[in-house]
């Protein structure tokens, strides 16, 4: 049985918290919706664990969504960390929704909310 996590974010601010990561850069990640990214700033940068890299999507009309195949491993998140990039604060995420699935086809909303804006980059 596959476990996947779908995360969507709408563009414009950020939040920083800490816990042990539930994602591993080796996990399969795929984007949801239309994505227009420079080659070096693709969707795989979302969970690479490197705050010096970033995912950039110039197609903002459908938000930013992605799924992560956890390889059948169930995880429980207690916090979420969003790192701002080095350039345009107006591209930072402002809202989020996390959905979970046991089969990779039917997703259930787990939580959603606002991401408070912070001034400092990274």
pLDDT at position 112 over 90:
yes
12-24 per-position pLDDT tens digit: 333 444 457 778 8
Give the chain's count of helices (H) and strands (E): 0, 5
Provide the pLDDT for residue 109: 94
- DSSP per residue, 62-119: T-EEEEEE-TT-----S-------SS-GGGSEEEEEEEEESSSS--EEEEEEE----S
User: 118, 23 in Cβ contact below 8 A?
Assistant: no
Question: Which residues are bridge partners to 17 per DSSP?
Answer: none
Average pLDDT, the chain: 78
pLDDT at position 19, please?
Answer: 56
pLDDT at 72 over 70: yes
Residue 8, pLDDT > 80, answer: no
Task: Taking residues 42-70, report their average pLDDT.
Answer: 85
Q: Which residues contact 105 (CB under 8 A, 6 or more apart)?
A: none
Please say whether the beta carbons of 97 and 62 come within 8 A.
no
| pLDDT score of 46 | 85
């Amino acid at each position: 049985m596959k476990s996947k996590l779908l995360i969507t974010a709408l563009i414009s601010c950020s939040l920083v918290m800490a816990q042990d990561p539930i994602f591993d850069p080796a996990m399969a990640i795929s984007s949801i919706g239309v994505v227009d990214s420079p080659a070096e700033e693709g969707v795989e940068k979302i969970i690479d664990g490197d705050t010096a890299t970033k995912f950039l999507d110039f197609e903002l009309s459908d938000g930013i969504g992605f799924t992560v195949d956890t390889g059948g491993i169930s995880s429980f998140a207690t916090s979420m960390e969003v790192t701002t990039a080095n350039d345009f604060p107006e591209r930072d995420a402002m809202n989020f929704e996390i959905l979970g699935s046991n089969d990779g086809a039917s997703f259930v909303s787990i939580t959603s909310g606002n991401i408070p804006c912070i001034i400092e980059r990274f």
